[in-house]
Amino acid sequence: MEESRIIKTEYSDVMQKSYIDYAMSVIVARALPDVRDGLKPVQRRTLYDMYELGIRYDKPYRKSARIVGDTMGKYHPHGDSSIYEALVVMTQEFKKGLPLIDGHGNFGNIEGDGAAAMRYTEARLQKITQEAFLADLDKNVVDFIPNYDETEREPSVLPVKIPNLLVNGSEGIAVGMATSIPPHNLGEVIQAVKAYMQDSSITTRGLMKYIKGPDFPTGGIVINKDELVQIYETGSGKIKVRGKVEIEKAKGGRTNLVISEIPYPMIGANIGKFLSDIAALAESRKTQDIVDISNQSSKAGIRIVIELKKDADPENFKNLLYKKTRLEDTFGVNMLAIAGGRPEIMGLRQIIEANVDFQFQVARRKYTTLLEKERERREIQEGLIRACNVIDLIIEIFRGSKDRTMAKACLVEGRTTGIRFRSKESEIMAAQLGFTEKQANAILDMRLYKLIGLELEALVKEHEETLANIYRYEDILENRESMAQVILQELEAIRKEYGRPRRTVVENGAEAVYEEKKLEEMDIMCLVDRFGYVRTIDMAAYERNREAAETENKYVFSAKNTGRICIFTNTGQLHTIKVMDLPFGRFRDKGIPLDNVSNYSSEKEEIILITSQSQLNLHQVVFTTKMAMIKRVEGIEFDVAKRTVAATKLQEGDEVISVVVLRHQEQIVLGTAEGYFLRFALEEIPEKKKGAIGVRGMRLGSKDWVEMVCCLEQRQDTELARQFITYRDKQIEVGRIKQTKRDEKGTKLRG
C-alpha cells in the first residue's frame, strides 16, 4: 500500500496560481479574438462546424438548433446560449461590417429586439465566409488540434484571407481586460494590406491614406479625424461619433429634423433611451421647440422624425441633441487581441503586419501541399504515358502472369520468373521496365479505354498542365515576390466582389454649441397638494381659480419661472428645485411628486415649509426645534445652487418643527406638549448663520418638548391680546399668555 503524503503550501500561492490559470483560460479560450483570423473560439468553432455539416451558401438553410447542438457537442461545451448568441451576431448586418452567416428568420433588429429561439431560425454560411474563411482547409494550411474530449479535431485558427479583426471588429470582456475594436471598410482594409505588402516600412499615417477610419455598419459621422492617427498608432483611444441629421420642410411652414443614421454605440435599447431623452428635454422645458417625435424606422433603415415649431432654429436644436443626448457618442477603442498565444494591444500597422505574415504562412503550407500532389500526379502520368508506348509488352506481362503480385514485381523490380513470354526479346525488355511503386499500381488499375487516341492526347495534355503547375508552385515557394503576387491577386478578387462604398463619414467636426433661448422672466404660482404633488400655473389661471387653489392645496405661493423653490424638512435639510423642472400647465392638470424632482424623500423626511427662493431673499427666517432651540437667519443665505444643503444644525435627537418666513410679525408664541406657553418679542432671537445651532428659546421639563410655534403680527396691544392661536384644535386667546422674556418656562394654561 502506497503511503499518502501531505504537501504543505501557502494558501495565497495556490489561490494566485488558480486565479491566473482561470484568467488565462478566459482570455485565450473564450473572450478575445485571435489576430490572425479575427475570431473568438466560439465563432471559429461555429463556422467550422457549419462547414463540416455542409451548410454552404448554395445549399438549403438548416435549423440554428442543429448547428448549435452539433457545435456544443463536438467543440464548444460551454452552453448553447453563448453559441447561439455568437451565431446571431455573425448574421446581423447592423453589427458586423461583413456578416459571416446568412440568417433566415428573426435574428433581432437594430432597435434591440432579440432573435427568435434557435428552434425557429435557420442559417447557412455566407459565400465570402466559404471562400475567404474556410477555403483550403483540406490543404494542410493550418494546424488541427484535439477537441475538448479528444474525440474530434478542430482547426486552431481559420485560414482567413483578409484582416477580419479590422473588417468586423470585435468586442469582449475577459478577466482584467477587455477588447473593443471598431469595424472597417473591407475595400479600404485590403488596399492598406496591399500597400503594406508593397512597402513593409509604411507608417500608420501612410496606411491611413487607405483606411480613413472606422466604417460602422450604421453609418454616422466620425468627428475627431485628427485624433485617429494617435488611436491607430497606440491601439487605444476614443472615437467620437455623431448620427446623421437632415432638415426637411414640413406642412404649414414647419421644419422636421430627420435622423437617418445613428452612432454605432446607440444600437439596441439605446434608441429607445434616445427617444425618451428627447421627450425629457421637452418635459423639463430645456427646449420648447418640439411639436412631435415619431420613430418611422423600418427594414429600409433608420428614420426618426422630430417635428419642430415654426420659429425654431433647426441648427441650434440639432446642436442641442448632440450636447444633451446620445446622438453624439463615444466609441472606446482598445485593440486587444491574442498574438502568439498572448493578449496584446496592437496598433493598425501591427494588426496588418500579423495578418500578412499569417497569409504567407498559409500560402507556403498550401503550395507545399499542392506541389507534393502535383509531383505525385506527374509520377503517375509519366508512368502511364510510358506504359502506353510499350502497351503490347505490358499486355504480354499481364497475360503471362499468374496474379497481380507477379505482374507488379515485373513492372517494378524486373522479375520475370514464372511469367510466360512470347519471345526472349520480350522477357529481356520486361526486365528493364523499372516503374515506380505508384506507377505500377496506376498501370495495373488502368482501364482499356485509356488506350483510345483522344484519351492518350488528353493524358499528354494533362501531363503538360501538371508540369506547368509544378513549375508555378516551385516558383511561388522559392520566390517571396511570386507568393506575394498570388496573395495580392486573391485580395483584389475579394475586394472587387465583396467591396462596398464607405458608410461612415470621417471629418473634423466642429464642437456642438447650443445657444439656450433666454427665458422671459415672469411670475407664476406654485401649488403643492397634501399628497406632495407639485405643479405650476400662470397668474391668470390662479386668479380664476383662487378659492379652489387655496382650499385644495397645502402650499400656494408665487415664484419666478427662472427661480427655485425651497423645501425645508424636519431633518434640518433644505432641498431646492428649479421652477423650470416643474410641470407647467392648466389648473386641473396633475402635478409630479416632489420625490421625483428633488432629493427629498417622503419616506425619510417630513416637510415643514415650502416656499420660493425669491420670497426668502426678501425676508428673515425663524427656525424652531423640538428641543426649543431657536434662531433667525437671513433668507438670502438659502440662495444656493446645490440641490441639497443643511439649513440648520441640530443636536442629537432633535428635529425642526417650525420654519417661519418673517414679514410683519413682532412676537412669537411657543407651546409645549405639557401645555406650557411662552410669548416673547422676536427681536430677542439672535441672528445666526444657517450652519449655527441657535439659542434656547424656552426652558422645558425633562419629558416636555415644543409642539406649537406661532408668530404674531404687529398690532395694538389690546388687539393682540384678543387674537387667538390654535393649539390641538382649540382656540386660545393670546391675552391669556403673559408676555415675558426668552428662555423662561412660560405659563401653563388649562382648557
Which set of grid coordinates corresponds to residue 436? Answer: 515506380
Which set of grid coordinates corresponds to residue 86? Answer: 455568437
Q: Is the dihedral of CA 47, 48, 52, 58 positive or negative?
A: positive
Say what angle helices 314-324 and 270-283 make with each other, to 10 degrees: 120
Rounded Cα–Cα distance for residues 397 and 414 (Å): 11
Q: Hey, what amino acid is at 42?
A: V
Which set of grid coordinates corresponds to residue 467? Answer: 508540369
Q: Is the dihedral of CA 583, 588, 590, 594 positive or negative?
A: positive
Rounded Cα–Cα distance for residues 284 and 424 (Å): 113
| E strands in 586-636 | 592-593, 607-612, 620-625, 629-634
Which set of grid coordinates corresponds to residue 718? Answer: 389690546
Among residues 554, 552, 544, which one has the least CA distance to residue 609?
554
Among residues 138, 128, 188, 198, which one has the least CA distance to residue 487?
198
CA 17 vs CA 10, 22, 23, 27: distances in Å: 11, 9, 10, 15
Tell me the pairing of strands 695-696 and 676-681. Answer: unpaired
Which set of grid coordinates corresponds to residue 588? Answer: 386641473
Buried b / exposed e over 66-93, threshold 16 CB at 10 Å, is: bbbebbbebbbeeeeeebbebbbbbbbe
The span from the first CA to the last CA of the chain, in angstroms, equals 99
Q: Hey, what amino acid is at 550?
A: E
Cβ-based neighbour number of residue 288 at 10 Å: 12
Residue 592 near residue 532, CB atoms below 8 Å: no
Cβ-based neighbour number of residue 318 at 10 Å: 21
How is 5-46 classified by DSSP, letter by letter? -PPP--HHHHHHHHHHHHHHHHIIIIIS-BTTT---HHHHHH
Rounded Cα–Cα distance for residues 703 and 701 (Å): 5
Q: How many residues are there in the chain?
A: 751
Which set of grid coordinates corresponds to residue 577? Answer: 428645485
Which set of grid coordinates corresponds to residue 119? Answer: 428552434
Residue 165 near residue 142, CB atoms below 8 Å: no
Cβ-based neighbour number of residue 539 at 10 Å: 12
Query: Active-site residue 120, yes or no?
Result: yes
Rounded Cα–Cα distance for residues 182 and 333 (Å): 7
CA 416 vs CA 391, 420, 440, 446: distances in Å: 17, 8, 15, 21
Residue 731 near residue 724, CB atoms below 8 Å: yes
Rounded Cα–Cα distance for residues 119 and 290 (Å): 44
How is 442-480 classified by DSSP, letter by letter? HHHH--GGGGSHHHHHHHHHHHHHHHHHHHHHHHHHH-H
Which set of grid coordinates corresponds to residue 158? Answer: 481559420
Q: Catalytic pick from 22, 120, 148, 471?
A: 120
Which set of grid coordinates corresponds to residue 212? Answer: 480613413
Alpha helices in 593-644 (DSSP H): 594-597, 613-616
Rounded Cα–Cα distance for residues 177 and 291 (Å): 45
Rounded Cα–Cα distance for residues 322 and 257 (Å): 13
Cβ-based neighbour number of residue 184 at 10 Å: 26
Question: Under DSSP, is residue 617 helix (H, G, I), strand (E, B) or coil?
Answer: coil
Active site residues: 120
